[in-house]
A and B are shown apart, each in its own frame.
Chain A
Amino acid sequence: MFALVDCNSFFASCEKVFRPDLDGKPVAVLSNNDGCIVARSPEAKQLIPMQATLYSVQDLVKQGKLHVFSSNPVLYKDMSRRVIQTLQHFSPEVEQYSIDEAFLGLHGFTKADLTDYGHKIRTTVKQWTGIPVSVGIAKTKTLAKLAAHGAKRHPDLDGVLDFGTLADPDAVLASIDVGEVWGIGRNLKAKLNSMGIKTVLQLKNADERLIKKTFGILGLRTVLELRGTACFPMEPVAAPVTMRIVSRSFGHLVTELSDIKEAVATYTTRCAEKLRADGLVAGHFTVAIRTSYYRAKNQYVAARSVALDPPTHDTAVLIHEAMQLAEAAFTPGYEYLKAKVIATDLTPVGEVQGSLFAAPVDTEKRDKLMQTMDSLNRKLCPDAVKFGALGLKPTWAMRSEYFSQRYTTHWGELPTVKVWQMVKPTSTRLPCKPVR
């Protein structure tokens, strides 16, 4: 048996944990760069659509009817870690599937008490972390995901649905769009629809050979999972990292090469920090820049790559390469919206082979420098020590006007509490007028 635990409106829920004044109020979280709404609390769902732009909801924000927050990834990541840690009390097999979803392997549990167990998981996660979750339980991961979906949509279920307890599971599957099935994206859905498969039940009863022929073994496995045969096992160990990407939109459209280079240098610095934190070195590095997709005219996309020999995670080396790549990719006359740096061909530091051709580098000295920079930046503030290429006052930086606090990871941003005081009965005396 499997359970899928899915955090409800995760980013919005994180913003509410330390703000009891927002209890019961509509809260929405913006994408990077304050572009559009990416998460809504249940109250906000009644008010605004997903993907709404900040511009379209600004009246509600000004009137105080909607509370918006800029994306606060540091907070979300820490809260996610706490949820996963809590779930590990409920099963030795926990597989984090995304920042707000995890599968639990429930082997050896008897069928009767699984709904109760789901409720226990739900109340514990809420109590320990403040995050509300939905729990779907079923014989396969694909069905557990559908069950979690159902638990979220039907308030009378109180957030938990054990698929095995449904009186008529096929009737339920017939009422769900095939696009809701795990692994079926927009393209697959269109293809299935063209074959006359519109509901989950139709997919479950589809001809095995036809599915295998059209969608390959993965498609067949999905059908078998819908029929109750587990084909996707637990994968508790996170898949090894194959690439590190840092990608962000600029605060406004950028036309100058100097601005692009500053941005690319900054993203490269972040990327190198991530590589060092994971103990990896990159053998390949790519810089990509592009204009907005939403403009009909003057679109431009370019990417340039370089092989790194020997592989490295040295910020200075990576910035040096990235600057040349950015120059090569840049063409004047366009308004750029986004830059991206990608480190690939990653290997653990200890497994790097010496290079036949490149000149030897004094890696010990360089490593010490990088370690010193990382620890200073961790202790003081990000970019307290940085390379000159990052610029002093970025004009291209992302907008994040509605930033909340990093409540759980920064000493200066902890939640604050007042000392409780019995409120004294208010005085009935009128305020005296000042004597002239």
Chain B
Amino acid sequence: MGFPVPGDAIEQSLDLNHHLIHNPAATFFMRVEGDMVAGQAVQPGDLLLVDRSRVAQDGSLVVAAIAGTLQVLRVEQHQGQLVPPGWQRGTDGDIDICGVVAHLIRKV
């Protein structure tokens, strides 16, 4: 004799989309490509969930357009602007933040 399936205790199974994506209209999946960079949290092959509706802050991991390509990096507050560490606006060109990396998914 087994236990009956408790009908009223059944809930929906866990939904990763629901858990990871807070603003579906503004969330985009992006794939990291290229070579491994020493000392970086992000690695080639990582899947990024980029939320364009989140406002970047000091220390945010962001995807930005730099010199015509999408790049992932951590930005710091520097003279009222969010830039990568050691960056000099003007001499080093422009950086246009596209969105904040909300989650990072890595195959292990």
Contacts and interface: CB of A to CB of B under 8 A. Distances in A.
Interface string A23-52: 100000000000000000000000000000
Contacts of A23: 65, 68
B53 A127 contact: yes
A20 B30 contact: no
Contacts of A417: 30-33, 48, 63, 69-72
Interface in B70-97: 70-73, 84-86, 92, 96
B46 to A, nearest CB: 9
Interface residues of B, number: 38
A418 interface: yes
B71 A418 contact: yes
Contacts, number: 91
Interface in B9-56: 23-26, 28-37, 40, 42-44, 47-48, 52-53
A198 interface: no
Nearest to B25: A85
Contacts of A407: 28
A82 B34 CA distance: 29
A21 B68 contact: yes
Contact of A419 (B32, B52, B98): B32
Given A130-B98, A416-B30, 11 more contacts: A20-B68, A20-B98, A82-B24, A85-B25, A128-B53, A414-B29, A417-B31, A417-B72, A418-B32, A420-B66, A422-B84
27 contacts: A20-B96, A82-B24, A82-B25, A85-B25, A124-B53, A127-B53, A130-B52, A408-B28, A408-B29, A411-B29, A414-B30, A414-B47, A415-B31, A416-B33, A416-B70, A417-B33, A417-B48, A417-B69, A418-B69, A418-B70, A418-B72, A419-B36, A419-B71, A420-B66, A420-B71, A420-B72, A422-B86
Interface of A: 18, 20-21, 23, 81-83, 85-86, 124, 127-130, 407-408, 411, 414-423
